[in-house]
Amino acid sequence: MILEVLEFGFMQRALIAGVSVAITSSVIGLFLVLRRNSLFGDALSHAAFGGIAVGLATNIYPLWTGLALSILGALGITKLRQYAKIPADATVAILLSSGLALGILLISLSGGFTLDLFSFLFGSIMLVSVEDTLAILAMTGIILSIIILLYRQLMYITFDEEQARVSGLPISKLNYLFIILASVAVIVSMRLVGILLVSSLLVIPNVTALLFNKGFKKTALISVSISIFSVVAGIAISYAANLAPAGTIVLVSTAVFLTVLAARHYSKKKQVVKKLEEARS
């Protein structure tokens, strides 16, 4: 039965696009989580929501308007943080609520929710077209190439921005580039899980991977594996049980997180008991 399902074009596209998104979002998400910027993805997706509404209202391809607004918003709040010294979480709240407000305003002007807008809000992985799949693959390729090329520099900034600056790294340029990459990753991920759940793909696999207490490369690999597993299992379960794919994917990743957390807790307890027994003997 599994092989039969894989013969469907929509399922092949869903899996290819899903795995691409899983890789991109977990790689970008690792840097966001470590910079204590987990909600930045949420802010970007809500800014993109405003942009998508602009696109739908003006008949421009909504993903491009969404991407443009998300990048502009992100660059804007970064400048705001630097010059007005506003705390990071407050700037995230500003971008998040302004993007959402713009979207709501434009939707109300254009006469309510359309099917298109609904699919952007909640994802539509089973409906991705060949063009969408190719666009997602291309964007994934670009994001991963840049991250691999600048991996050490981005890790340095994440570890200690001041020391990275002293070592001569162009911090501002790298930060702006990263924001653009994160915006592209959010736009790519929106097709899979929708605006409302994007940040879960960026955050949950990485928080789970951090529980393994490994080095940077291994943590990234674990996160990517968890993300791919969640997407593939989520798509399969949602198809078999006729559930919403986006919600299923996110709940699978949450289940993986809780399982790893429980296993870690159990193994810690076991180690404590073992140490005590060794001390007594």
The C-alpha angle 98, 101, 106, rounded to 5 degrees, equals: 125
Which of these, 254, 228, 137, lies nearest to 191 by C-alpha position?
A: 137
> In sequence order, which residues have a C-beta less than 8 Å from that of residue 34 and are 6 or more positions away?
158
Axis crossing angle, helix 62-84 with helix 115-122, rounded to the nearest 10: 50
Q: What is the dihedral of CA 39, 16, 219, 222, to 10 degrees?
A: 120
For residue 126, what is the DSSP state? G
Residues 34-63 that bind other proteins (CB under 8 A): 34
Among the listed residues 58, 97, 129, 167, the single contact to other proteins using CB under 8 A: 167
- Asked if 3 interacts with other proteins (CB under 8 A), we say no
CB of 23 to other proteins, least distance (A): 18
Single-letter code of the amino acid located at 26: S
Decide if 24 contacts 139 (C-beta within 8 A).
yes
Decide if 133 contacts 192 (C-beta within 8 A).
no
Which is nearer to other proteins, 181 or 207 (by Cβ)? Answer: 207
Q: Which residue has the tokens 């407000």?
A: 101
Among the listed residues 5, 93, 150, 210, the single contact to other proteins using CB under 8 A: 210
Given the rule CB under 8 A, which of 37-45, 105-113, 124-132, 213-221 is the region that contacts other proteins? 213-221
Which is nearer to other proteins, 167 or 259 (by Cβ)? Answer: 167
CB of 217 to other proteins, least distance (A): 7
- Asked if 81 interacts with other proteins (CB under 8 A), we say no
Tokens of 89: 């979480």
CB of 54 to other proteins, least distance (A): 39
Binding mask 124-163 for other proteins (x = CB under 8 A): ----------------------------x--xx--xx-xx
- Where do contacts with other proteins occur on this chain (CB under 8 A)? 34, 152, 155-156, 159-160, 162-168, 209-210, 213-219
